[in-house]
Structure 1
C-alpha cells in the first residue's frame, strides 16, 4: 500500500475514532488504571500462573503468550491448552491483552472473537523475529507487507467489540519506522508497543534497544496516542529512565521479567520485592501453579520458569541442575515439591546461617556505564538479570573465568567490573566497543 509522507501529527486519525460501545485508546488506558509496567507477550512464557506472580511484584498490565491464530481456531486441544475459562478472570487476571500472530484477516478475526469476552484488547504480533515466524509469514516478517498488516488490524478494528493493539519492531531508518507506525495506527491500533530493536537483532546479535528511535516516534506520533516502550530493562531503576528518555506511557519487559519478576517493583527500599530470594519466589510461583491446576499452559511452562528464576543460583548450586533436568513437565506436583523444598533447605541451612550473611545479603550499585545504565552486584540467591551468551559461551561463565575466582560467594556482577575495565583498556575479546557490544542488555 502507498503510505503518505510523514509529518508531525497532533490529532487522532479517523480510523481510530471510537466505535459505538468501544473505548478509544486513551480512554481504554485510563479505564484499566493507567498501567506503567507491562508483562510482554512471550511464547509459552507469559501464561496465567506467571501473570498472577508478576502482578504480585508490580506488573500493572499483562499480555498473554503469542497464540497462533489458525491453530487457535482449528484446534480445540491447542486452544484449551493455551487459554481456558481461568484466563482473564476479573478477580486475578485483568487487565489483560491477548496476542495473536496471523497472516489471514478472517482467521485472525475468528480467533479474536473466541477471546473478546475474556480480555480488554486483542494485540497483533508484528515483532517475532524467529525463523519459524519467517517460515510462517507472521510477526516481524510482515514488515515486508504493509498492506497485509493494515488489513489484519483493520479487520479487528471494524469487527471486534473491544480495541485492537499492535506490537512492532523498528527499521534502521527513522523515517521508515515512523511511516510504519503511522500506518499501523491508521489501520485502527489503539495501543502501540514499540520494541526498539530491528528484526535482525536477535540471539547473539540482540544488542541494545534504541531508545532514541522510540523517542523520535513518540514525538512525531499524535500526542494522545498510547505508546509503550520495550527493550533494555535490566532493573527496576531502568523503568523510570526509559520513561524519561522516551516519554512513553508505560514500559514493557520480556526477558527482564522472566528472570526477575521484581523488575517491576519500584519500592527502592524493599530488596525482597526488587530482588526476591529464590526460595521465596519459587515457593510463591509453585503455589500459584497448584492453585490454577489444571491449566495446561501453566504446567507446561513451569520447568522453564524454574530454570530462569534460579539461573544465577544454579550457576553456583550446580548440583540442583540434574534434579530439575530429570523432572518432566508431566511429573507429579509432588516431584516438583521436592525441588522447591531442597531450594528452601539450601537457603535456610547453608546460606542464611553464614556468619556474615547480613553483610552479604545486599545489592550494590556499580558505576554508570557508557550506555546510560549500570550493573548491580546481586547475591546469587536472589533473582537478577540474565546476560546473553557471547561468542557461543555463557556470559556468566566467561565473566567468572575473567575474574579468576572460585569462591562461591563471588557473583558474576563482580566479574563484570573486571571485564569492563579490561575491555575498555583494549584487553577484552572481540569487536571494538568492548563491553557495550559484548555485554548486551536484555
Structure 2
C-alpha cells in the first residue's frame, strides 16, 4: 500500500500562512511577512494562459528570491494542459503548485475559473490529476464552501481522490463577497478536515491574533491563512499591533530591495493607514500618498504621520479619545483590522435599487462623511434614517423619498 506524503510536514509544518492576493502578496510583502511570523507564503494568483503566452507577464507578475521559501504558486484557469504548462515554468522555483478554485470576482466568472468552476467536477478532477501526474512538486487547491455541507464534503473528497495533496478551505460561499461578505463558517471547515486525510488550511474571519489560535482549535486544521487581516496588520502572526509607520517604513525598504510596481506599494500603504487616513484631519497627508510619483513621496507621507502621532504613542502628549469620536477600540495610528458591517436585509434591498447602485465607494469623499462611511453605505444610511450628510452631499428632506425607494418607484 502506497504511503501518502504529508505535504504540510514537508513544508515544515507551517501554522501561519499568507494568502494569495492579486497584486498584494508580491515578493516584498512576502519578505515582510516572513520577518513577522508567516511560515508559508502564497504568491499572487497568476492567470495560467497569460503566464504561458506572455513573457512580459511572467517577468512582471512572478518574482522570487532564494530566501522566499517555502513558497506556493497559485494558478487560475480551466484548461488542464495550459495550467500544467504554466506549472512547469515555475516548479523549480517553488514548493507547491496551487489551483485557484475560490476566486468569486466577476473577472473569474467571465474567464470561467476560480469558484465558477466549482460545479464542473469532471473538469476539476482532470485538471488536478493532470498536475499531480506530471509535476515534480505537490499539488494543492484553494476552495470555497457550498451552502450544503454534504456537498462541500463530497467536493473535498473528490479533490483528494483526484490528487490534491493539501487543501485550503475558505469558509464562505461564492456569493459571500463585497457587501455580502458576512461571516465565514468554521464548522464547514472542520467538517472538511474530519472527512479528508490530506492537510487542511483554514481561511476566513482572521482579524486579530486571538482569531488565529481560536480557529486552529475550532477547525482542527493544520494551519490558518490570513488575507485582509494581514494587509491591515502584517504583524498579526507576531501578536502585535504596531504603529502604522513601523511596518510601512519596513515595507518601503523591502520594496526598494525587491522592486515591484509602484501601484502595489501605494495600495499596501493605504491598507496599513486605512483608519488614520479616514480622519479628515489627515486628508493633506493622504493626498501626498495618493499623488506621489515615487517611493520617496510615499516615505514623506508616512514620516509626517509618524511625526504627528509619535508623541501620543510615546505618552509625551495625552490622547483623549473622548474628544475624537473615531469609533475605534485602539488609537487610529495603530495597525488594526477593518471591520465590515454586516448588512441588514432591508439595507441590501435598498442597495439593489438601480438608482442607489449608481454611486460607488469613494474613499476620498468618505473622509468628509459625517458618519465616517463610504459613499454607498452613507447613501443607504441616509435613506434608511432620513439623515443628511453634507460631506457626501446626500440630502434627504422628506420621508416621501424613502417610501418611494422602498416601493421601487
TM-score in terms of structure 1 length: 0.74
Q: In the alignment, which residue of structure 1 is the partner of 2:285? A: 320
Corresponding residue for residue 385 of structure 1: 337
Gaps spanning 5+ residues in structure 2: where? 322-326, 352-360, 373-409
- Measure the CA separation in 2 of the matches of 1:401 and 1:219: 48
Give 1:30 shift: 1.8
Deviating 4+ runs (over 4 angstroms)? 349-354, 389-395, 400-403
1:174 is matched with which residue? Answer: 149
Contact 1:166–1:191 (CA under 8 A) maintained in structure 2: yes
Q: Residue 255 of structure 2 aligns with which residue?
A: 289
**1:353 shift after superposition:** 6.3
Match of 2:234 in 1: 261
- The alignment partner of 1:229 has SS state of strand
2:156 paired with 1:194: no
Query: Alpha-carbon deviation of 1:376?
Result: 7.9
Secondary structure of the residue that 2:331 maps to in structure 1? coil
1:128 alignment counterpart: 103
Structure 1 residue 356 displacement after superposition: 2.7
Whole-Å Cα distance in 2 between the matches of residues 82 and 151 of structure 1? 26
Query: Is this contact kept in 1: 2:140–2:167, CA < 8 A?
Result: yes
Aligned counterparts of 1:148 and 1:249: Cα–Cα separation in 2: 28
Q: Report the counterpart of residue 37 of structure 2 in structure 1.
A: 58
Output one character per residue of 1:16-70: Cα deviation in whole Å (capped at 9) or x when no partner: x65xxxxx2x1x3223221011000111111101111111221111101110000
Aligned Cα root-mean-square deviation (Å) = 2.5
> For residues 60 and 96 of structure 1, what CA distance do their matches in structure 2 show?
9
Question: Conserved in 1, the CA contact under 8 Å of 2:184 and 2:204?
Answer: yes
Distance 1:136 1:215 in 2: 31
Secondary structure, counterpart of 2:50 in structure 1: helix
CA separation in 1, counterparts of 2:21 and 2:271? 14
- Residue 123 and residue 239 in structure 1: after superposition, are their counterparts in 2 closer, same or farther (change >3 A)? same
Structure 2 residue aligned with 1:106: 81
Contact 1:98 1:122 in 2 (8 A): yes
1:25-424 pair list within 5 angstroms: 26=6, 28-84=7-63, 87=64, 89-91=65-67, 93-222=68-197, 225-266=198-239, 274-293=240-259, 295-296=260-261, 299-316=262-279, 317-327=282-292, 331-348=293-310, 352=314, 354-356=316-318, 377-388=329-340
Q: Which has the higher contact order (CA 8 A, sep 6+)?
A: 1
Deviations 1:409-428 (A, max 9, x none): xxxxxxxxxxxxxxxxxxxx
Offset of residue 325 of structure 1:
1.4
CA distance in 1 between partners of 2:203 and 2:80 (Å) = 26
User: Matched residues in 1 for 2:14 and 2:176: separation?
Assistant: 27
Contact 1:103 1:138 (C-alpha < 8 Å) held by counterparts: yes
- SS of structure 2 residue aligned to 1:98: strand
The count of residues paired between Structure 1 and Structure 2 equals 346
TM-score, normalised via structure 2 length: 0.79
Partner Cα distance (1:208, 1:234) in 2 = 12
1: CA distance between counterparts of 2:285 and 2:295?
17
Q: Distance in 1 between matches of 2:296 and 2:304?
A: 13
Any idea what SS the aligned residue of 2:159 has?
helix
